[in-house]
Amino acid sequence: MATVRKLPSGKWNAQIRMKGHPQASKSFPSKSLADKWVKITESEMIRHIYTKTNTTTLAEALDRYRLEITPSKKGAKIELIRINQWLQNPLAQKPLDTLKPLDFAKHRDSRLQAGIAASTIRSELAIISHLFTIAAKEWGMSLVNPIDNIRKPKADNARDRRLDRDELIRLLAACSLSDSHLLPYLVEFAMETGMRLGEILSITWDMVNYTDKTIKLNTTKNGDSRTVPLSSHAIHLLKTIPRDIKRDNDNLYKPTSEDVYIFYTWKRSDSIKRSWHTALNRAGITNFHFHDLRHEATTRFFEKGFNVMEVASITGHRTLQMLKRYTHLKATDLAVRLH
């Protein structure tokens, strides 16, 4: 038997008494949420899969999620990074059934105020939402998904930031002064190929075909394989990447057999941040992200006369809609072509 009543505080309290189960009780900000919880919980009690969740914290659920769910995903590496970020959040110490939509609405707002991209915040919230779905459907927990009841930031992160000639010269000069000796090669290679940072860092030497002038990516962000054509300058960069690096102590560093990655200085895409931001500061460049190099490269492909299908084949963009934001050609360039 279930009862739902309004409390003096304005919240709605739901109580369930069913033979063979301990009494279950929970409060909600609205009657509709209380009714939804009653329906789910009674169904689980009838099927004998009901499990009280008030002792399972978000951190414990995240640990289970990253062991059982994350490994089967295409973007497992990035998701693990985001899960680790959630584990550092104070919300991770709260029991699952005490987490409210307001908790995650505050998280959303604080991230937006910090200048975090809307798409990143949506991805963070998506992990929590899926965790609650899995916990309710597969782990026998009676839960209402708090993410279902908050607004998601609009994922409108289109950028058309490009480097002018002077900025490019300053950036490459600053990269050449970096403690990370591969940084100038990485930046130029990104502009030549239009590849994502994660894709570039995943390249191993056996993926390069100098005869066909291509690199075969076995798994991309979209989960598909892709063969990337290489320009003559991209080939030159690969052939001139230094393999023996002299350190400050004058000892010669030789990459070991484990250094099969071309850009072996960085293990993950987030590990480059310090070197990248140092170079930007040294070059006096603001409002420029590493991913903007992909936009720069893709726009250059269009400027060279490649059509949409050809560019998509190079960059791995799946749809024309995704490529629209990469075709912000300079008005002056278009004016020249009109004459």
> pLDDT, tens digit, for every residue of 23-59?
777 778 899 999 998 998 888 888 877 766 557 889 9
Active-site residue, from 66, 82, 170, 294? 294
Label residue 325 exposed, middle or buried (CB < 10 Å: 0-12, 13-18, 19+). Answer: middle
Query: Which segment of 21-35, 89-103, 213-227 scores lowest on mean pLDDT?
Result: 213-227
Choice among 11-15, 82-86, 315-319 with the minimum mean pLDDT: 315-319
pLDDT at residue 109 in the model? 95
For range 261-274, the mean pLDDT: 79
- Taking residues 53-71, report their average pLDDT: 85
pLDDT category of residue 304 using cuts at 50, 70 and 90: confident
pLDDT(242) > 60: yes
66 catalytically annotated: no
Q: List the structure tokens of 119.
A: 């798409």
Rounded CA gap, 11 and 313, in Å?
55
326 is catalytic: yes
pLDDT of residue 27: 78
Give me the pLDDT at residue 44, please.
84
State the pairing for strand pair 245-246/252-253: antiparallel
Phi–psi pair at 108, nearest 5 degrees: -55, -50
Report the chain's C-alpha Rg in angstroms: 26
CB 326 within 8 A of CB 161: no
pLDDT digits (tens, 9 = 90+) for 178-189: 988 899 999 999
pTM over 0.75? The answer is no
Share of residues in the chain with pLDDT > 90 (%): 42
Question: How far is Cα 256 from Cα 245, in angstroms, rounded to an integer?
Answer: 12
Q: Is the pLDDT of residue 252 over 60?
A: no
pLDDT of residue 249: 46
196 assigned to active site:
yes
Give the active site residue among 82, 170, 226, 317: 317
- Per-position DSSP letters for 274-288, written without gaps between them: HHHHHHHHHHT--S-
Which domains does the chain carry?
1-50 (3.30.160), 54-157 (1.10.150.130), 165-338 (1.10.443.10)
Spatial separation of the C-alpha atoms in residues 120 and 115, rounded to whole Å: 11
Cβ atoms 299, 328 nearer than 8 A: yes
Res 46: pLDDT: 86
* Separation CA 188–CA 293 (nearest Å): 9
Catalytic site residue from 82, 100, 108, 196: 196
Is 182 in contact with 237 (CB distance < 8 Å)? no
Catalytic residue flag (residue 291): yes
Query: Taking residues 298-324, what's their average pLDDT?
Result: 83
Q: Which of 77, 221, 282, 289 is catalytic?
A: 221
Q: Is the model more confident about 245 or about 183?
A: 183
Structure confidence at residue 318 (pLDDT)? 74
Q: Which of 181, 216, 291, 300 is catalytic?
A: 291
Q: Is the pLDDT of residue 101 over 90?
A: yes
Taking residues 63-77, report their average pLDDT. 87
pLDDT at residue 11 is higher than 90: no
For the chain, the 3-state helix, strand and coil shares in percent, each to the nearest 5, are 50, 10, 40
Torsions phi, psi for 164 (to 5 deg): -85, 175
Q: How far apart are the first and last CA of the chain?
A: 80
Average pLDDT of every residue of the chain: 84
Verify whether residue 317 is a known catalytic residue.
yes
Whether 70 and 83 have beta carbons less than 8 Å apart is answered as: yes
Any idea which of 224-228, 252-256, 278-282, 289-293 has the lowest mean pLDDT? 252-256
258 pLDDT band (50/70/90 cuts)? very low
User: Is position 48 annotated as part of the catalytic site?
Assistant: no
**Would you state the pLDDT for residue 329?**
57
Q: How confident is the model at residue 218 (pLDDT cuts 50, 70, 90)?
A: confident
| Closest C-alpha to 136, from 145, 147, 126, 148 | 145
